Chains A and B, each alone.
Chain A
Amino acid sequence: MSAALDKGLVRWLAAAPCADAVAADWLEAQRAQARARVVDQGIPDSKAENWRYTSLTRLLAQGFVHVAEALTAVQRDDLEDLLIPGLESYRVLMVNGRFMPGLSDLHDLPDGVRIAGLAAVLKSDPDALRERLNGSVGDEQPLFAALNTAGLDDGLVILLERGARLERPIELIHLSVGMDEPRVAQPRHIIALGDCAQANLIERYLSLGDSLYCTNAVVEITLGRDAVFTHQRIQSESARAFHLSGLYLSLGAASRYQGTNVGLGASWARTDLYVRFKGEHAECDLQGLYLAGDGQLMDFHLDVDHQLPQCTSRENFSGILYGKGRAVFDGLVRVARDAQQTDAAMTNRNLLLCEGAEVDTKPQLQIHADDVKCSHGTTVGQIDPEQLFYLRSRGISAARARRLLCLGFAGEILDTLVPEALREQVAEQVGRRLEQAPLD
């Protein structure tokens, strides 16, 4: 089975997890198993279904090594410019994949809510995580989840007991700072909401400076019965960065997950979303917006598996591509024979502003039940000349008019962001990106 391991993968795997991550036996066993899995799988080639449109060559050629030490040089003053004005949040700061308690603000957490660094919890209370770690990922770990497990040493743990609620969003800032040698940070976040619990998590991927690094994050989310989770992820990595993230969702009965993924930064970005329904009447709403310009790749993979009846899912992704930007949207919704009354709708819309831009879009429904409501649609188009003429006839310049239309196109997804302060900040980022785009 095992293909020859690329040098890049060997380097990635070779560096040991951070020494202060105390390893319980079960964790050591998980790491070893994950290592074996990486070696077993080898590097997927272009025939592998999941990697048909995206090559790993450029990623592995960088020779990324797992970050093994905490970077303490970052000070509070360095963060000023990164904060979103008017956003009141419980703020967690991670630098190069390490939780920084001194830079985080977690005061006044209500009862029943635990937010802590993964390394700290592994040290003080490892059993709290024993069932949860890889609980959503499972044993059949995809390559980058397995790499994450093999190097696992830190991340964030968010546990809400039954009925617990957070009034303010949790804001998780992933800050990356380039180092001499290309490094990969591999945070693992474990999020579990008990029955009826409610929370809003904002994940922001940012960098200081224009540095080369890689993020390989894995987020595991388990929602109890009637739990409600809003999850907003804004990827604004540096223009030279590589970004991988895998989201693994387990949704309890009648729980609601509302997620918005915004992909703006990085040179090469791949996001995998896995959704598993564990109870009936659960709802999963996945929204996405991506921008890709020269030298950028944005790749989104969705795997939504309706095994149980009466669940609802929405997959709604929009992309704006310009220059020589490339995007991949590979969305799979499966509906098992017993998953009657599934309601699923997937759409992927793309706006291509330049001839050199490109998108591979592949929405797929595999339906084995007969009483379901499922649909999918995809569009790849240019700016409508009539809309453009209408705006120009009102005195608005061609370039400004194109930007307005792009922002309008993105508006449907941007409108799902809450609170207002976040929406405004992201809309502004999108606007700024479009300002730099060659739109003619």
Chain B
Amino acid sequence: MLSVKGLRAKVGEKEILKGLDLEVGRGEVHAIMGPNGSGKSTLAHVLAGREDYRVTAGTVTFEGRDLLALTPEERAHLGLFLAFQYPVELPGVNNTYFLKAALNAIRSARGQPELDAVAFLRLMRERLKVLYLDDSLLKRPVNFGFSGGEKKRNEIFQMALLEPKLAILDETDSGLDIDVLRIVADGVNALRGLERSVILVTHYQRLLDYIEPDFVHVLAHGRIIRSGGKELALELEEKGYGWLGAEEAA
């Protein structure tokens, strides 16, 4: 479903991704771990289509399409979703209005009829319940004045609503207490049940207690330097990144 080959990307003049390969199949959960600054968020943004991150080499195919040739919205229409490490605040943009615009944009791009207000509200309520979320979030501007935890929950809520084929979660677990972590895990596991794929960018083994990954990768200095099963995460937890020669550059 996703195939990344030899991906190189620059932010400004600095090369961050230096020949990265990754294969994600349908229904698989991949964890990507790695030290700070190794390029995890850069990878996530490049996949989602951020224009100021320049791809200089390599290919990415998603659902048989050349992903890099598509606009961010076209990627979303194809079923790609990024839960941001730092969700962006949109003062003055009502959350419900935003969610409805997003869902209907994706639905109409897929040739499905747009949901009317009533049907949309029903769907929202249902998804909120599944995630034990409070509907007060919906009346506020998108992420504006949200606490860190609320922002992350809002990302997961969007994911549950949009039902992507591939969700990339960029450190959605950082700074969350155990209850919120469970919500995140529930959201991911629900997608997994639908045969959707997930890339979990994470620092900690903790999240992996709730979501069992099929594969674990270590990203360092802009490449995947090691891949393995879930036992690799445990090993990393024990030994850190040093033994892989993946310490942060001083």
Contact = CB atoms under 8 A, between A and B. Distances in A.
Given A389-B50, A411-B92, A395 B84 contact: no
Contact of B90 (A395, A405, A412): A405
With most chain A CB atoms within 10 A of its CB, the pick from B49, B73, B81, B106 is B73
A386 B98 CA distance: 16
A235 B84 CA distance: 41
Contact of A390 (B87, B101, B141): B87
Interface string A383-403: 001110111111111101000
With most chain A CB atoms within 10 A of its CB, the pick from B76, B93, B97 is B93
B141 A392 contact: no
Contacts of B179: none
A367 interface: no
Given A395-B105, A400-B105, A387 B90 contact: yes
A392 B51 CA distance: 11
B20 interface: no
B223 interface: no
Contact of B101 (A396, A410, A412): A396
Contacts of A247: none
A398 B73 CA distance: 8
Interface size bucket, B side?
20 to 34
B49 A404 contact: no
Contact of B93 (A386, A392, A397, A405): A405
A391 B141 CA distance: 13
Given A389-B50, A389-B51, A396-B101, A404 B77 contact: no
B102 A408 contact: no
Nearest to B52: A385
A392 B82 CA distance: 11
Contacts of A389: 48-51, 72, 88
Contacts of B93: 404-405, 407-408, 411
Given A385-B52, A397-B105, A404-B101, A392 B92 contact: no
Contacts of B162: 394-395
With most chain A CB atoms within 10 A of its CB, the pick from B48, B72, B106 is B72
Given A389-B72, A408-B141, A396 B90 contact: no
Given A393-B82, A394-B76, A395-B102, A412 B92 contact: yes
Contacts of A400: 101, 105
A244 B90 CA distance: 35
Nearest to A395: B76
Contacts of B98: 391, 394, 404
A409 interface: yes
B91 interface: yes
A396 B52 contact: no
B42 interface: no
Interface in B61-92: 71-73, 75-77, 81-82, 84, 87-92
A408 B91 contact: yes
B52 A395 contact: no
A193 B89 CA distance: 42
B92 A393 contact: no
Contacts of B88: 386-387, 389-390
Contact of B73 (A397, A404, A405, A408): A397
B197 interface: no
A293 to B, nearest CB: 20
B84 to A, nearest CB: 7
A390 B52 contact: no
A392 B52 contact: no
Interface in A126-174: none
Interface string B92-127: 110001100110011001000000000000000000
Contacts of B97: 404
A401 B106 CA distance: 14
B158 interface: yes
A426 to B, nearest CB: 15
Interface string A171-208: 00000000000000000000000000000000000000
B106 A408 contact: no
A400 B101 CA distance: 9
A396 B102 contact: yes
Contacts of B52: 385
B73 to A, nearest CB: 5
Contacts of A411: 91-93, 141
Contacts of B82: 393
Contacts of A405: 90, 93
A400 B71 CA distance: 14
The 7 A-B residue pairs whose C-beta atoms are closest, nearest first, are: A408-B92, A411-B92, A395-B76, A394-B102, A408-B93, A392-B72, A390-B88
Interface of B: 48-52, 71-73, 75-77, 81-82, 84, 87-93, 97-98, 101-102, 105-106, 109, 141, 158, 162
Given A395-B73, A405-B90, A410-B92, 17 more contacts: A386-B88, A387-B89, A389-B48, A389-B50, A389-B88, A390-B84, A390-B88, A392-B49, A392-B72, A393-B49, A394-B158, A395-B76, A395-B102, A395-B109, A396-B73, A404-B93, A408-B90
